[in-house]
Amino acid sequence: MKKHNYSAGPCILPQEVFEKSAQAILNFNDSGLSLLEISHRSKDFVAVMDEARAIVLELLGLEGKGYQALFLAGGASLEFIMAPYNLMKEGGKAAYLDTGTWAAAAIKEAKLFGETVVVASSKEENYNYIPKGYTVPSDADYFHCTSNNTIFGTQMKEFPSVDMPIVCDMSSDIFSRELDFSKFDLIYAGAQKNMGPAGTTLIVVKEEILGKNGRIIPSMLDYAKHIKAESMYNTPPVFPVYASLLTLQWLKNLGGIAAIEKINNAKAALLYAEIDRNPLFKGAAAVEDRSNMNATFLLNDEAHAATFDTMWKAAGISGLPGHRSVGGYRASMYNALPLESVQVLVDVMQALEKAI
């Protein structure tokens, strides 16, 4: 039986993506060859890469606006390094918003390149809210933020208006909600939540911000070189790119980001309503900053943990325990998780209430 998969990432993908990508491993495009045994320079794979790059810009509403999409390797963690390498001037300065473990990891790497100003941090409150009302120094080379904090279950609902490039780590909520993506100059996201399997990272960059910081950048870390090579500077992660394309096609056929956002809102509303109603549970994050992707919640009385754990496992739920830095539970409701799975979790929470 297929589980109700609440894993925070790698995570659930659409069933048709599992099936079509399995088929491509056996016989890609009826060629008599596996996707895994053909050249990345073959006509068939170049077409995959081209379509994947194009569909990203189409779904984000960025076609013809000076943006390029790249599928690279190295994870979002490598972008913590590539962003400052490509954007921070020698002797320059960058501004960062510290909203969680991943934001802090990005800050740590930026410090290797120059002055890194943390404009605000919610670390003291174990990152349970998104700081607001901060000032970004006007002489910063760029402002960096994390749109969704996977571990703590908070999500930025608004982004500051600044006169410098905005860089955003959208690893855990890209393609989940409508935003004016043209407000961002560099977006990056590890594929393994809303887009595909682990192994590739999506980068969406406004070309005009590149080549201006005066640094000599090693080729593999240079966005401009990857753009020039059409995301084929070296052998790309062919399988993750192909499975990502299938996921993005699935999303497009569903009606794109506007359509999935409605479903995601319904899922989050259903679960948060139960967390707030059920006297056995409480939410971990500030209500106004709650993430629609990762809902973090706790039992008011830890004594019920063993019973609850037995019950949700028996209901076919997987991947619910919270990250060790928050404890409790984390329900990751990425795009491919159906509303029915959320109903199963809510039913278990109600059954626990009755059982106690």
Ligand X SMILES: Cc1ncc(COP(=O)(O)O)c(C=O)c1O
CB of 255 to ligand X, least distance (A): 26
Q: Which residues pair with 295 in a beta bridge?
A: 331
Interface with ligand X (CB under 6 A), residue from 122, 155, 171, 213: 171
Interface with ligand X (CB under 6 A), residue from 16, 38, 73, 75: 75
Residue 194 near residue 174 (C-beta atoms within 8 A):
yes
Quick check: bond before 10 cis, omega within 30? yes
The number of CA neighbours under 13 Å toward the Cβ of 228 is 8
Selected range binding ligand X among 56-64, 84-92, 167-175, 219-227, rule: CB under 6 A: 167-175
d(CA 11, CA 56): 20
Interface with ligand X (CB under 6 A), residue from 35, 76, 174, 299: 76
Interface with ligand X (CB under 6 A), residue from 77, 278, 307, 350: 77
Contact positions with ligand X (CB under 6 A) in 78-137: 102
CB of 140 to ligand X, least distance (A): 21
- In terms of C-beta density within 10 A (0-12 exposed, 13-18 middle, 19 or more buried), how is residue 81 classed? middle
250 is catalytic: no
Query: Does 146 help bind ligand X (rule: CB under 6 A)?
Result: yes
The number of CA neighbours under 13 Å toward the Cβ of 86 is 27
Residue 13 near residue 195 (C-beta atoms within 8 A):
no
**Token pair for residue 350?**
């109600």
d(CA 325, CA 92): 33
Query: Does 68 help bind ligand X (rule: CB under 6 A)?
Result: no
Handedness of CA 217, 85, 165, 52 (dihedral sign): positive
193 is catalytic: yes
Q: Which is nearer to ligand X, 189 or 246 (CB)?
A: 189
Q: Which is nearer to ligand X, 9 or 197 (CB)?
A: 9
Given the residues 193, 222, 250, 267, the one annotated as active site: 193
**Token pair for residue 33?**
């060859």
Count the residues of the shown chain that bind ligand X, applying the rule CB under 6 A: 11
Selected range binding ligand X among 75-83, 108-116, 177-185, 348-356, rule: CB under 6 A: 75-83
Q: Is 135 annotated as a binding residue?
A: no
Query: Does 169 help bind ligand X (rule: CB under 6 A)?
Result: yes
Given the residues 98, 141, 169, 289, the one annotated as active site: 169
Residue 192 near residue 11 (C-beta atoms within 8 A):
yes
Query: Does 67 help bind ligand X (rule: CB under 6 A)?
Result: no
d(CA 330, CA 78): 26
Residue 299 near residue 305 (C-beta atoms within 8 A):
yes
CB of 49 to ligand X, least distance (A): 20
Interface with ligand X (CB under 6 A), residue from 4, 5, 6, 9: 9
Query: Does 72 help bind ligand X (rule: CB under 6 A)?
Result: no
Q: Given the rule CB under 6 A, which residues bind ligand X? A: 9, 75-77, 102, 146, 150, 169, 171-172, 190
Residues identified as active-site = 102, 169, 193
